């Protein structure tokens, strides 16, 4: 397998002419000149992600402390297990994104990856804040260690984490392609059944603070989905054969099967508003949407409707608002904490 060349940090012979710029295998000086970019989508995405600034500790979790005691045993197990899953993958994501960035040779894309890394760290902080606030002290470690003792959870995080580790161990094009697709699957498929669990609780006026934190995270994750859609599509165009259709479909099938198995394992039919049928319908629906965004045909014929569409208002990912975000597949308008950034009207 052909090895990849890491970009040079100090590259005085680099060519910053945008006509020579590439996502990988290029050569620039690495200067962040946002007035001279090839990938305009990266500029827009950078501005949108900067607008998403938020601080976990500003979310009030007081009500959640009491609500947690009102949950059924199945709901508490789901709450704990989903938090364990989320904190593990966002932790490993914080470490993985910079590694991918070492091989991205368009400065404007490297800049966006740096913002994603920061946001992943904030997500990990937010899970820790939730666990430390809501969960009794004697039970907290069990959440952080849940993945070690639950084989189904371990198997699904191993699929992503090992794809990352393979690239960390050996930087070749095949491992790079796997790591990119794994990153996309984590951001675009793996989180959303878990997010919906929190929105279902919120629809019953339970755990409102936890749902607010998930909304913030959900908003960030949508930008990460868009980022890796552009990266994967761009590399497939500029470097044909590096990321094959076969690889994407193979990894999607594995991810979808694992997502359904895990969700049925942690939620099953024991959570109000979720059934094993709705889990399968939703997961395959999400997978088809993500494949379409990559310019590929769907894997699952007939899975075109979202069975949890009623949760979109709670999730705040589909409403009309004053922020024009047709750049994304969704619009989130209720959580902006910073002032508007010039350029929003163009998104």
pLDDT in tens, 58-97: 999 999 999 999 999 999 999 999 999 999 999 999 999 9
pTM assigned to the model? 0.91
Distance separating alpha carbons of residues 333 and 226, to the nearest angstrom: 17
Give yes or no for residue 335 having a pLDDT over 90: no
pLDDT of 186-221, one tens digit each? 999 999 999 999 999 999 999 999 999 999 999 999
Catalytic residue ranges: 127
- pLDDT for 279-323, tens place per residue? 999 999 999 999 999 999 999 999 999 999 999 888 876 543 332
Distance CA(204)–CA(210), nearest Å, equals 13
The residue extents of the domains of the chain are 43-346
Any idea what DSSP says for residue 336?
-
- Residue 4's nearest CA partner among 133, 80, 144, 101 is 101
- Domain 43-346 sits in which CATH superfamily? Ribonucleotide Reductase, subunit A (1.10.620.20)
**Dihedral pair phi/psi, residue 256, rounded to 5°:** -65, -45
Contact between 61 and 133 under an 8 Å Cβ cutoff? The reply is yes
């Amino acid at each position: 397998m052909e090895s990849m060349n890491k970009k040079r940090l100090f590259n005085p012979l680099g060519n910053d002419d945008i006509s020579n710029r590439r996502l990988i295998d290029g050569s620039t000086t690495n200067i962040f000149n946002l007035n001279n970019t090839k990938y305009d989508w990266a500029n827009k995405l950078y501005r949108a992600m900067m607008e998403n600034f938020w601080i976990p500790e500003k979310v009030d979790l007081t009500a959640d402390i009491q609500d947690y005691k009102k949950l059924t045993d199945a709901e508490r197990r789901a709450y704990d297990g989903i938090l364990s899953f989320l904190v593990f993958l966002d932790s490993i994501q914080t470490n993985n994104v910079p590694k991918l960035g070492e091989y991205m040779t368009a400065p404007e894309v490297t800049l966006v990856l740096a913002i994603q890394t920061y946001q992943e760290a904030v997500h990990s902080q937010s899970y820790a804040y939730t666990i430390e606030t809501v969960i009794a002290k004697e039970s907290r470690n069990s959440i952080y260690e849940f993945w070690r003792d639950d084989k189904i959870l371990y198997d699904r995080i191993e699929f992503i984490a090992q794809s990352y580790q393979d690239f960390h161990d050996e930087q070749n094009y095949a491992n790079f392609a796997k790591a990119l697709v794994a990153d996309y699957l984590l951001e675009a498929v793996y989180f959303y059944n878990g997010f919906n669990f929190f929105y279902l609780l919120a629809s019953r006026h339970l755990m409102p603070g936890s749902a607010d934190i998930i909304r913030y995270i959900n908003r960030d994750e949508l930008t990460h989905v868009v980022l890796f859609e552009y990266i994967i599509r761009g590399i497939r165009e500029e470097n044909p054969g590096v990321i094959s259709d076969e690889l994407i479909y193979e990894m999607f099938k594995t991810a979808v099967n694992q997502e359904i198995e895990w969700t049925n394992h942690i939620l099953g039919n024991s959570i109000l508003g979720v059934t094993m049928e709705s889990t399968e319908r939703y997961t395959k629906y999400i997978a088809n949407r993500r494949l379409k965004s990559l310019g590929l045909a769907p894997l699952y014929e007939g899975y075109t409707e979202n069975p949890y569409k009623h949760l979109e208002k709670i999730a705040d990912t589909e409403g009309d608002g004053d922020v024009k975000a047709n750049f994304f597949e969704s619009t989130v308008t209720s959580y902006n904490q910073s002032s508007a950034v010039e350029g929003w009207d163009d998104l």
